[in-house]
Chains A and B, each alone.
Chain A
C-alpha cells in the first residue's frame, strides 16, 4: 500500500538485498514496525514480525533481544514513530547499546495521517499542523543517537542505494545499537506540499542535488548548509552490548 514513488518500497528492497547478500537465515530475523507508512514494511515480509503499536518498537525489541539473544532484530519505522512518541525508548535503547538495527525513514512528516509536523520537519516548513510555517527546530537524529550512546550510525538517502544496502549490512553485523537514517522521498506529502515537487523523479533529483558528504559539509558555510542532507557512515564503535553486560552479571551471580 505504498504510494507511487514512495521511498518505502526502496527501503524494503535495500533491506532484503542486505540480508540476502549476508546470507542470513530469515527464520532467525525478527522485524518490528510501529505505525505509519514505513512501519508497514515488516508486515509485508515473511518473517517473525511485531507490528502496529505506535512508538514502542524499541521496547518490544528490548524484550525480544533479551529473551533470545540469538535472534537478529531489525526495526523499520518512521521519524514520528521513533523520535516523537518513541523518543524516550530510542535514547534508552541507544544508551543501553541494545544489539538491534534500527532503520528510520526520515520523510519529513507524519505521512500516513496526511502530513502533520514531526520532530524532523525543517524550521519554516508548511505542514497541515504548521500552516504558517514550522516554528520548531528539527532533530539531527544521527547526533541525537550518537549522544545517547548508539555505536553504529549512518545516514543515506534512497538515491544512494548501494551505500544504503551496505550500511544496513554493516549495521546488522555490528554488535551494538545500529542506527541507519534513510532520508526518503515522499512525493505525496513532503514533496508536494513542502518542496513543491509533485513528481517522484523530481523528488529523487532533489535528494541527489541536496546531499553532501561530511567532508564537503565541513568546507561549507552555515547558509550553504541550509536544507542540505549530510550523508555518510559517521560512527562505528565496539562497546559492550546490553546482552554482554547481562551475561557478565550472570557470571558474577553464578560464581557467588
Chain B
C-alpha cells in the first residue's frame, strides 16, 4: 500500500474514492473491472492494489463496455463484482444494466457524477442514473453525503444487489469522491453481509426464473451443473428464449415487482427537525450537508424548518414524500442541476403543498445561506 494509514486504529482519514474501495472489499467484492475516468480513477487505482491482497481479481478493461460486461460475467461465475465510472462512462454501460436487469445479475456500479467534459461538481445525472437504460426496469440508487457514507453505502449496495438480484448504483459526486474525511472502518464482525440465495434443489428440478415465493429466484453459479441460459431476450421461467408475450409480461412484472413491492424495506432516509416542521427541505447527496446547516440556522431564527435527507433516491418513495407534503406548508428542494428530482417531489405531493425548486448548475454545492434564503422565500 502506498497510502499512509494508521494500522492501529479503526478510524482513518481517507479519500472518498478509497472509502468506496474499502467498503466493497468489506462487503466481499472480489472482482473489479474499470476504465480510467475522472473523478473515479482513484477507485480503480486503489482496488487494483487491494484485490490481489485479498484473493480477488482486478482488470483495467479497454472501455466501459468491457468493464460492465466483464463484471456481469464474473458475477454469473459466482463472484461479487463492481465497476466504477462517471457520468459519460455510465452512458456506455446502459445495455449492460439492461442485461443485468433482465438476467437478474447482482451487480454494483459506482457512478461519480461530474459535469460533461469538465471536472466540476454536479447532481445533473440524478435522472440518467435511473432512466438511461432501455426497457422496463427498476434501479436501486444510494446517494451518500460523506466519506463515511461512501464506505457504509457501498456495503449496503452489495447487500441490496444480492438480496434483490438487481443492479445497484452508489451515486457519488465529484466533491465527495475527492475529499478526505474521517471514516470508521468497521470491524468485519460488525458488518452485516448478505449473499445471494442458492438453489436448494438439484439442477434437474430447478426452474431458474420461477422466483417463488418472494419474486427473487435463487441463483447458482457457473460450473455447478445448473446450466442456466442467461439471455437479455424475452425468456420463460426456464430461461429459454420465447415469443410468448404473456410470459414476457409476467417476467417483467416479477422483475420490477421485486423492487416496487419491497419499497419500504429498500428505501432508507434520515429526518432532522422534521416532526413539527412547517417547511421541509428535501435533499440528497452533498446538498444535504448544506441543507442541514440551513435548517439549523432557520431554527435559530425561530423558523420551524426540517430536513428529509434521502439515503435511497431510487426507487422513489411516493408515500413518504406525500406524507411530508401533507404536514408542511412548503417543500424546498435544493439540487446541483436545473431542477430534476424536484419534479418527482412535485408529482408525489399531489398539490398538497407548495414545492420550491432551488436549482444551481454552477459546479458547486449550495451554501447553507442560499438554502436558508429559499426556506424564507
Residues of A whose CB lies within 8 Å of any CB of B are: 26-28, 30, 42-43, 46-53, 55-56, 59-64, 66-68, 70-71, 88-89, 92, 246, 249-250, 253
Which residues of chain A are within 8 angstroms of B181 by Cβ–Cβ distance? none
The count of chain B contact residues (Cβ–Cβ below 8 Å) is 44
25 CB < 8 A contacts A-B? A27-B227, A30-B77, A30-B222, A46-B227, A48-B222, A48-B227, A48-B228, A50-B231, A51-B231, A51-B232, A52-B232, A55-B65, A56-B69, A56-B96, A59-B67, A60-B69, A62-B70, A63-B70, A63-B71, A64-B77, A67-B73, A67-B77, A71-B222, A92-B61, A246-B52
Do residues B74 and A67 form an inter-chain contact, with CB atoms below 8 A? yes
Residues on A with beta carbons closer than 8 Å to the beta carbon of B76: 48, 50, 63-64
Shortest B29–chain A CB gap in Å is 12
Q: Which residues from chain B contact A67 at a C-beta distance below 8 Å? A: 31, 57, 73-75, 77-79, 81
Q: Is the CB of B227 within 8 A of A26?
A: yes
**What total of A-B pairs shows CB separation below 8 Å?**
129
Report the bound CA distance from A165 to B74 in whole Å.
29
Report the minimal beta-carbon distance from A134 to chain B, rounded to whole angstroms: 27
CA distance A70 to B229 in the complex (A): 19
Interface centre among B61, B223, B233 (most CB of A within 10 A): B223
Q: Are A51 and B223 in contact (CB under 8 A)?
A: no
A62–B66 CB distance below 8 A? yes
- Cα distance, A26 to B225, chains bound together (Å): 8
Chain B residues within CB distance 8 Å of chain A:
31, 33, 52-53, 55, 57, 59, 61-63, 65-79, 81, 95-96, 99, 221-233, 240-241
Contacts A52-B99, A56-B65, A68-B223 given; indicate if A63 touches B233 (C-beta within 8 A): no
| Contact assessment for A60 and B222 in the assembled complex, using a CB-CB cutoff below 8 Å | no
Residue of B55, B222, B224, B228 touching A64 (CB-CB under 8 A): B222
A253 vs B26: C-alpha distance when bound (angstroms): 19
Contact partner, B227, options A43, A47, A50, A246, Cβ 8 Å: A47
| Chain A min CB distance to B227 (Å) | 5
From A42, A59, A250, contact of B73 by CB (8 A): A59
Going nearest first, the 4 A-B pairs with the smallest beta carbon separation are: A63-B73, A63-B70, A59-B69, A63-B74
Chain A neighbourhood of B77, CB < 8 A:
30, 63-64, 67-68, 71
Most-contacted residue by chain B among A28, A46, A66, A67 (CB, 10 A): A67
Q: How far is the CB of A148 from chain B (nearest CB, A)?
A: 12
A43 B96 Cβ-Cβ under 8 A: no
CB-CB under 8 A from B31, the residues of chain A are 63, 66-67
- The reply to whether A246 and B57 contact each other, CB–CB distance below 8 Å, is yes
Q: In the complex, what residue of chain B is closest to A49 when comparing beta carbons?
A: B229
- CB neighbours (8 Å) of B224 from chain A are 27
Q: Are B227 and A88 in contact (CB under 8 A)?
A: no
Cβ–Cβ < 8 Å partners of B240 in chain A: 43
A28 vs B77: C-alpha distance when bound (angstroms): 11
Q: How far, in Å, is B223 (CB) from chain A's closest CB? A: 5
User: Could you tell me the distance in whole angstroms from the C-beta of A100 to the nearest C-beta in chain B?
Assistant: 11
Q: In the complex, A122 Cα to B279 Cα: how many Å?
A: 70
B176 shortest CB reach to chain A, Å? 28
Across the interface, do B53 and A63 meet the contact criterion of CB distance under 8 Å? no
